Chain A
Amino acid sequence: MDYEFINDIISLYIEAGILTFRIALLGIVGAVVVGLLCSLIKYYRVPVLQKIVGAYIELSRNTPLLIQLFFLYFGLPKIGIMLSSESCAIWGLIFLGGSYMAEAMRSGLEAVADIQVESGLSIGLTDFQVARYILLPQAITVSVPAFLANIIFLIKETSVFSAVALADLMYVAKDLIGLYYKTDEALLVLVLSYAVILLPISAVFTIAERKLRYAGFGN
């Protein structure tokens, strides 16, 4: 093991890690927004949109992110839509994550008993107030475990972005292996980088999940 070499390359990994983190953040925020919209559309059975959302969810959940990215990055330019690798990565992550988030939130929404909504309406709340004060708070608690698991899943999925020429952690590792043939060092730092990013998140999520489980209603 060449520690001097590790010392030299660590800044490359930090840079790549920050890039990964930034894209993951944007992608996840986008995915949450898309997921929330889709889950509400499915929950309220909005006429035409419901079908479109249903098709989108099936399409996105049953295909790999890598193929989605290849289509965005290599396919779309042929019809004149040019995306940089960064925006490809973000859109890809939103497209993939949106459906996972939608499913997580929909299961939460459906877990809220109908009587809750009916009681809210009967004491004179508007539809919006029912959603804001009764439906969403309970639904969110139920969907938290799936929601947090999705976030970790999406961060892990960012590792395929190197395939569309984004200089993320995998890309740096592959580059170093190719340039210097320092495979052990490059892979060790790669594993450590992902551990540093994901272990704390995973630990915090485990605690959060345990705390929130007791915020359920009626049991």
Chain B
Amino acid sequence: MQDLGIKVLFQGRNFIRLLEGLWVTVRISLIAVIISIVLGIVLGMIMTSKNPAIRILTKTYLEFIRIMPQLVLLFLVYFGMTKAFNINLSGETSAIIVFSLWGTAEMSDLVRGALISMPKHQYESGMAIGLNTVQVYKYIIIPQTVRRLVPLAINLVTRMIKTTSLIVLIGVVEVVKVGQQIIESSRLTVPSAALWVYGVIYFLYFGVCYPISLLSAKLEKRWNS
């Protein structure tokens, strides 16, 4: 029985459908990643401010988002918003909102960490050799910050893609949902479909995330030495 199970993947458009489902997941994560990186950089710079009100506000935001499991945040937006404010959001929109909020929090913390880890003498040395503020940032601070930041940010991207798998639980039709449909429709003809379909989905995720992880590790190694 098991040796025939794999054929379910090649019936009709099943494999193509799985890939289309995967694209839904990846697209949602990419949109959220872009929003998070832009907002995260801005928020990270704001977070280095010494103003106590700003610090408390950003810290609270960061802590709340980080302490709550992402699934709880999805429920809050998907079920909570509808009931409380009568805003009817689709699963995809809720997912993008939640992952942007979460990604922004994580990204801003990375940006803040990279900025405050820059030793003061870097600024001072730049000034001492006669650069102006723009030049100090352009030639000294930003290149170094980017080198510290990029591997970590790429790492965050894989985390976001992995976490996006949760959206099946708020009813978005993505790779797992398509997989479930395939399993259900071939329940009688191919009883072992679940093993193969979930196995394939597992390796699809691996196929997406592993190259990104490799890139991150490679950049980190190259820039740190």
A residues neighboring B (CB under 8 Å): 58-59, 61-64, 66-68, 70-71, 74-79, 156-160, 162-163, 170, 173-174, 177, 183-184, 187, 190-191, 194-195, 198-199, 202
Q: Is the CB of B213 within 8 A of A156?
A: no
B213 proximity list for chain A (CB < 8 A): 58, 61-62
Q: Is the CB of A78 within 8 A of B192?
A: yes
B contact residues, total (Cβ < 8 Å): 40
Count of A-B contacts with CB under 8 A?
Answer: 109
With A79-B195, A157-B69, A187-B80 known as contacts, the answer to whether A62 contacts B210 (CB < 8 A) is: yes
With A58-B210, A187-B80, A190-B72 known as contacts, the answer to whether A66 contacts B202 (CB < 8 A) is: no
* Distance between Cα atoms of A76 and B197 in the complex (Å): 11
A170 proximity list for chain B (CB < 8 A): 69, 71-72, 75
B residues neighboring A (CB under 8 Å): 2, 5, 63, 67-72, 75-76, 79-80, 82-84, 158, 162-163, 165-166, 168-169, 176, 183, 191-192, 194-199, 201-202, 205-206, 209-210, 213
**B79 contact from A70, A156, A187, Cβ within 8 A:** A187
A159-B72, A190-B72 given; 14 more Cβ-contact pairs under 8 Å: A58-B210, A62-B206, A63-B202, A63-B206, A64-B166, A67-B201, A74-B194, A76-B195, A77-B194, A156-B70, A183-B80, A184-B80, A184-B83, A190-B75
A76 proximity list for chain B (CB < 8 A): 195
* Distance between Cα atoms of A155 and B210 in the complex (Å): 24
Q: Is the CB of B71 within 8 A of A159?
A: yes
**B165 contact from A67, A77, A158, Cβ within 8 A:** A67
Majority-rule SS of A interface residues: helix
B191 proximity list for chain A (CB < 8 A): 78
Q: Is the CB of A66 within 8 A of B166?
A: yes
- Residue among A62, A157, A187 having the largest count of chain B Cβ atoms under 10 Å: A62
A85 to chain B, nearest CB (A): 15
